[in-house]
Chain A
């Protein structure tokens, strides 16, 4: 597949899961392509970073489901902040562990998973759809009492960026953290993998151990090779986070004129144009 085919298979109003974590291994090439598309009214499910920010900046996100939105080395995501402060986006705010149980529940086709995480906090207040349960096995002080029944985080499609994949859709991570990408793939109706490099199936174990084969082709509807597709987020070991570019992104968000200039310069063309513009910017910075 190519990037436009992936985006062309999505529809307005869908719930889209996005892998990675904060500003780490985000499928930004696919996110950028969604920003260029006609898609609207998306519900975005994410351990949020600039994926959520860009989709908010382009008015693509109707709702965000997340425990946080951050750029890690820059704590706050400027476009998500602006969207929330303008009341432009609905927000389902979960604890990180609750969110993972939501992914697990969806991946296992369970109606809910119980957790104490969230009890007593305002997460319950702002999520009136959340119900609580009690253990059917004990009726005493050790039973944990009331638990939150985390409903499945169902998604129409998930987007993840991996280090390697074969053409069939078997996908591999080579960095130190898988994040929750396999859970997104198992929880979603279908998953699209972008990757740094497509390799032969027989070559998958040349760069990483068996355990690095995180996602099976049985969950993958399409693979697209997008070198630098996670830019500017962390894509180790292929590349680090582009901290200087991330700072440029944040600065540009501070003012509408600067943001318009940033969009024109980097985001007005296709992915190849983006990568070329970033290269040119980097040369100019030297």
Chain B
């Protein structure tokens, strides 16, 4: 891990933190990996102190805790049944994962191939249908590729903009930040991570990604954010395993 400049994983974690900007006193449900969990806790320790974050299990922690660490003091309890209640209640912003995603943000974690007899059975829909229907949803895709970003998903688990999604904020990948800020709410390149070209991102996407004339660079974490990630929230460097530099 370099000490001066941010690693790709740290850029991704800061981009995930930015997903929660302005969210206030809601539950940050970063269920799809270490990087979004780190991002949620980083946001809470910096610009979004009202956020509620978990220990990765059913405990709402009094303070953001390091990845993989015990909860310490606890301020609340959120067992699975209350997560499912909270989905309908709405005070929640979830970061989901996806094995496939199309241009409108329809996502698949159910199976690859024909559902009747899939070529590859994956997790099953989990909570993706309900989450995307009524909760603010973002995505974390650790391996931006044409296998993930496909013309058509084999099974619509999480619903996209064309199927009545409630509020799809953004998609953070290991290469870029994507959003839906086009008139027809298609996936658009919002920013490319430092060192990644728009061409590489387009090449790694299996449909025509909307790419603006000038592609901004994803912001790098501040010195203070880097210190918090490296010394406080993830001293074991779990983020680097999810996004190798």
Interface set of A (CB-CB < 8 Å, partner B) = 21, 47-48, 66-70, 75-76, 80-81, 84-87, 93-98, 100, 115-123, 125-126, 176-180, 183
Contact = CB atoms under 8 A, between A and B. Distances in A.
Interface string B124-150: 111111101110000000000000000
Contact of B88 (A75, A115, A122): A115
Interface stretch (B1-9, B14-22, B79-87, B174-182): B79-87
Contact of A116 (B117, B120, B133, B156): B133
Contacts of B59: 176
Given A67-B127, A70-B124, A117-B129, 20 more contacts: A66-B124, A68-B126, A69-B124, A85-B120, A85-B121, A96-B80, A97-B84, A98-B130, A119-B159, A120-B132, A120-B133, A120-B156, A120-B159, A120-B164, A121-B125, A121-B156, A122-B110, A122-B157, A125-B156, A177-B80
Interface-centre pick from A121, A122, A176 (highest chain B CB count, 10 A): A121
Q: Is the interface of A mostly helix, strand, loop or mixed?
A: loop
A234 B84 CA distance: 21
Contact of A121 (B111, B120, B124, B163): B163
Nearest to B158: A121
B117 A85 contact: yes
* Interface size range on B against A: 35 or more
A95 B125 contact: yes
A85 B119 contact: yes
Q: Which 9 A/B pairs are nearest by Cβ-Cβ distance?
A: A117-B130, A68-B124, A120-B163, A121-B129, A84-B121, A120-B159, A177-B79, A95-B129, A96-B127
Contact of A85 (B84, B118, B158, B163): B118
A75 B123 contact: yes
A176 B58 contact: yes
A21 B129 CA distance: 19
Contacts of B57: 176-177
B133 A84 contact: no
B122 interface: yes
Interface string B212-224: 0000000000000
A122 B124 contact: no
Contacts of A80: 121
Nearest to B112: A85
A118 B127 CA distance: 9
A132 B217 CA distance: 45
Nearest to B164: A120
Nearest to A117: B130
A76 B121 contact: yes
B94 to A, nearest CB: 12
A117 B87 contact: yes
A155 B171 CA distance: 40
Interface in B78-113: 79-81, 84, 87-88, 110-111
B156 A81 contact: no
Contact of B130 (A87, A93, A96, A176): A96
Contacts of B58: 176-177
Contacts of B158: 121
A67 B79 CA distance: 17
B116 interface: yes
A116 B166 CA distance: 11
Nearest to B108: A122
B87 A97 contact: yes
Contacts of B87: 97, 117
Contacts of A66: 124
Nearest to B71: A176
Contacts of A100: 81, 84
Interface-centre pick from B58, B130, B132 (highest chain A CB count, 10 A): B130
A87 B117 contact: yes
Contact of A68 (B118, B120, B123, B134): B123
Given A84-B111, A96-B84, A69 B129 contact: no
A84 B59 CA distance: 34
Nearest to B107: A121
B47 interface: no
A121 B80 CA distance: 22
Contacts of A177: 57-58, 79-80
Contacts of B159: 119-121
Contact of A117 (B88, B110, B122, B164): B88
